[in-house]
Chain A
């Protein structure tokens, strides 16, 4: 029960609870990085996924782009961008966005493709606009899958944002990287626990969003 002792020691040390290096500060930074990266990735991935999925074209191109995006090593990209652009938020955001766009893009496309075509045809038959068909018929049905894509992107960002600490930014990774250099095991395990907890909280949050946002009729059929 080695690890549990470290967890206990980390969380019961009051020095870890306030100030510049306190848990609230680091957690706030981590949440900020996550939200920014997720927002940028969603702004890129969602529109492209929705439109390509609606017209059912470009699926192979999307799959290729997302494999290429996934193939780029996040950590390598971070260091490279750091060497290239210097200290700042941009070198951290680039790898996180590259990491998060493929799941959003591919899942959104697949979600739109998996919508039953008969209501879509019915909507068209009723004289609905393409845009209206997309947003009022396809989107609500595809929503659960789209949310699951956003969720996995968010979880990946949460656990990868730890490497921001390597280029001397904040976030929960600070504890892990500092602990590694200081040979302070307690800090490493504490930081890891916090990141894992935040990932689980993200899971819970998306579950709640899905409960609220997905219409009851769609939920029943899933």
Chain B
């Protein structure tokens, strides 16, 4: 078991150091993706004609494999963490925009009318009514973006040891220590599952009005509108 956690010194990090590095490389891009996705999604809701072209552009961006994305960026940002983080941020943006658009659009018209009648301005209505109701869809998007981001950081190993826990894969081969590869895969998977659990918890805390059971009951409305976020999200998951 000691060999499992005995990280070679060329990585210049302890196991916990690698975990911290991995989380930073994976989560900052998701955060950046969210910061850009919120206004972009709002524009897409406001101007309907904008949504199809935005979807097309993001689908094309999403089709670029992460490895190729990393390598192409080296020319501009060098072999740095930023080179890993930019593509992950773009992928997060791609996942989050449809999730937020679907979430915001799913707010019933009557609710909006009620908010307007109560004297809410557009900004207040957006922040206090639309966003909270869209929280489940946004968090569903964040879950997909976070899990795939954590798993993709490892590919950064190929561009000069920028893969955090993924760098263990390289060392596993150099030093013929397969347990390091096991460590890399298992730790990365555990981080992803933990991050996912944290997001589920956040949803439970942020939406106290929703039943805690995850299966929604089939109402007439749900039949008419079969969970809009699902196909969009599955599309974007990689």
Q: A71-B147, A76-B154, A79-B173 are in contact. Are A176 and B65 (CB under 8 A)?
A: yes
Known: A60-B215, A73-B154. A192 touches B75 (CB 8 A): no
Q: Which of A79, A99, A166 contacts B172 (CB 8 A)?
A: A79
Interface residues of A (CB under 8 A from B): 2-3, 59-60, 63, 67-68, 70-77, 79-80, 83-84, 99, 102-103, 106-107, 110, 113-114, 116-117, 145, 148-149, 151-152, 155-156, 158-160, 162-163, 166, 173, 176-177, 179-180, 185, 188-189, 191-192, 195-196, 199-200, 203
Report the minimal beta-carbon distance from A15 to chain B, rounded to whole angstroms. Answer: 20
Q: Min CB distance, A105 to chain B, in Å? A: 10
Contact of B151 among A73, A107, A173 (CB under 8 A): A73
User: Which of B69, B185, B231 is within 8 Å of A72, CB to CB?
Assistant: B185
Q: Which of B7-44 contact A (CB under 8 A)?
A: none
A204 to chain B, nearest CB (A): 11
A166: chain B residues within 8 A (beta carbon): 158
Stretch of B101-109, B119-127, B176-184, B201-209 at the chain-chain interface? B176-184
Whether the Cβ atoms of A76 and B193 lie closer than 8 Å is: no
Choose the segment among B46-54, B110-118, B129-137, B222-230 that binds chain A (4+ C-beta atoms closer than 8 Å): B222-230
**Complex contact A199–B63 (CB within 8 A):** yes
Could you tell me the distance in whole angstroms from the C-beta of B88 to the nearest C-beta in chain A?
Answer: 13
Residues of B within 8 A of A71 (CB): 147, 150-151, 188-190, 192-193, 196
Q: How far is the CB of A83 from chain B (nearest CB, A)?
A: 5
Number of B interface residues in the complex (CB < 8 A): 55
Check B60–A200 contact: CB distance below 8 A: yes
- Residues of chain B lying within 8 A (CB to CB) of residue A3: 72
* Interchain CB contact under 8 A, B181 and A145: no
Q: Is the pair B159, A180 in contact by a Cβ cutoff of 8 Å?
A: yes
The answer to whether B189 touches A68 (Cβ under 8 A) is: yes
Q: How far is the CB of A210 from chain B (nearest CB, A)?
A: 12
- Knowing A79-B169, A107-B231, A114-B226 touch, does A67 contact B68 (C-beta < 8 A)? no
| Contact of A156 with B68 in the complex, beta carbons under 8 Å | no
Complex CA distance for A117 and B224, rounded to whole angstroms: 12
**Cβ–Cβ contact B181 & A80, under 8 A:** yes
Residues of B within 8 A of A192 (CB): 64-65, 68-69, 71-72
- B63→A76 contact, CB < 8 A: no
Are B237 and A152 interface neighbours, CB within 8 A?
Answer: yes
Question: Contact at B166–A196, with CB atoms within 8 Å?
Answer: no
Contacts of B165 in A (CB 8 A): 76
The answer to whether residues A107 and B185 also contact, given A70-B151, A180-B71, A196-B64 and a CB cut-off of 8 A, is: no
* Alpha-carbon distance A3/B189, docked complex (angstroms): 35
- Which residues of the partner chain B approach A73 to less than 8 Å between Cβ atoms? 150-154, 166, 184-185, 188-189, 192
Of A75, A145, A151, chain B has the most CB atoms within 10 Å of the CB of: A75
Nearest CB of A to B21, in Å:
15
Given A72-B189, A185-B75, the answer on whether A110 and B230 have CB atoms closer than 8 Å is yes
Give 26 pairs: A residue, B residue, CB < 8 Å, sorted on A.
A3-B72, A63-B214, A70-B148, A71-B193, A72-B151, A76-B154, A76-B165, A76-B169, A76-B188, A80-B181, A83-B172, A83-B178, A103-B234, A117-B218, A148-B234, A148-B235, A149-B231, A152-B237, A158-B63, A159-B64, A160-B238, A173-B65, A191-B68, A192-B69, A195-B63, A196-B65
Besides A72-B189, A113-B226, A152-B237, 16 other A-B contacts (C-beta < 8 A): A67-B196, A70-B192, A70-B237, A73-B153, A75-B154, A77-B185, A107-B231, A148-B235, A151-B235, A155-B238, A159-B64, A180-B159, A191-B68, A196-B65, A196-B68, A203-B59
